[in-house]
Amino acid sequence: MREDADTPATGLALSRAFFEATVDELLAGGHEYLQDRMAAGLVGAGSECLGFDDETSRDHDWGPGYCVWLDPADWREAGTALQERYRAIAARGFAGFPPRDTTSEHMGERRVGVFPVDGFYAWLLGSPGLPSSIDEWRRIPERALAAATNGEVFLDTSGRFTRVRQRLLAYYPKDLRLKLIAHDCAIAAQAGQYNFGRQARRGEKLAALSCLSRFSESATHAVYALSRRYSPFYKWAPRGLDGLGPVGRDVHEALGAVLAAWRAGNVELAERQVERASNTLIEVLHAEGLSQSEDGFLLAQAVEVNSHICDEMLRATDLMAPVTA
């Protein structure tokens, strides 16, 4: 593999360079008209779509590749031919990188190539159309919504792909966002503020680890929900905190300090860092007007946030129960 000053440093940069270098060849021979009625970019699964890829990422499902999204009529007319040409182009590799090493059709085959717009969103979200009710939103795994809105769109001359993307980027309906925040606060209170220290002092290390993991996940997700951003696949969610402004960075730092203190056997310091992360969340809830409670226990904050939900059925659901798929 050749790497020099001209070699793209990230998967997204490599994808854009590959697209720009090969789009004319892809559309040659009678499909040039599609340049004015298609979208292209790199969106979906994979660390490169989040901008988090590194040397370790390159062992599978990484390399030269991009997506082309066609309107349904154009897909029926030209999709199969363009996909065959795309595969031939991609098989050559690019910029010193070999072709993608795709793990399987389920995991990697659909990450790049030529797709109908509706089919691409249906594969990610389980439905070709936008969710129209809270129940439909709840049935979509959040990681799928994150995958549908990450990455980069290099061009969209049709506008169809971007219209769906922009609506998804507007985030969940208000009531569902509030339920997610309330749920996160309730779990964080139970797992972190209440149970973590108790289990750690008992010497129940595995239980304490479980508590700390649940607290970390719920506090992290609360930051995403407060920031109106979908949380990505669990292994990337903590890293993404640093891109969510001062609140994300502070919670990330506090969670790292909790882990470091616990590893060092300092349970009291770990608990203080749990409270630091919790207080950061409470400050944001106050700033947004979602809670006026001065109670430092996040369960009290969860109850306040939940009270703002207008949908009676959603408001009545158990705060501890999962909110989405």
Instruction: Say whether pLDDT at 106 is over 80.
Output: no
Bridging pattern class, strands 152-156 and 113-116: unpaired
Type of residue found at 231: S
Separation between Cα atoms, residue 232 and residue 273, nearest integer Å = 24
Separation between Cα atoms, residue 243 and residue 247, nearest integer Å = 10
What count of Cα atoms within 13 Å lies in the side-chain half-sphere of residue 63? 22
Residue pair 167/280 in contact (Cβ under 8 Å)? The answer is no
Instruction: Say whether pLDDT at 276 is over 60.
Output: yes
Of 195, 251, 186, the C-alpha closest to 223 is: 251
Domains of the chain and any CATH numbers:
11-169 (no CATH), 174-316 (1.20.120)
Of 88, 90, 94, 91, the C-alpha closest to 2 is: 94
User: Which two structure tokens, joined as six digits, stand for 80?
Assistant: 């199969």
Instruction: Say whether pLDDT at 214 is over 80.
Output: yes
Q: What is the mean pLDDT of residues 34-51?
A: 95
CA-CA-CA-CA torsion for 73, 129, 120, 237, nearest 10 degrees?
160
**% of the chain beyond a pLDDT of 90:** 88
List, in sequence order, every beta strand (DSSP E) within the chain: 38-42, 67-70, 113-116, 152-156
Distance of CA 174 to the CA centre of its chain: 19
Type of residue found at 42: L
- The pLDDT mean for the chain works out to 94
pLDDT computed for residue 7 by the predictor = 60
Q: pLDDT tens for residues 292-305?
A: 999 999 999 999 99
Q: What is the mean pLDDT of residues 167-178?
A: 98
Distance of CA 33 to the CA centre of its chain: 34
Separation between Cα atoms, residue 88 and residue 316, nearest integer Å = 55
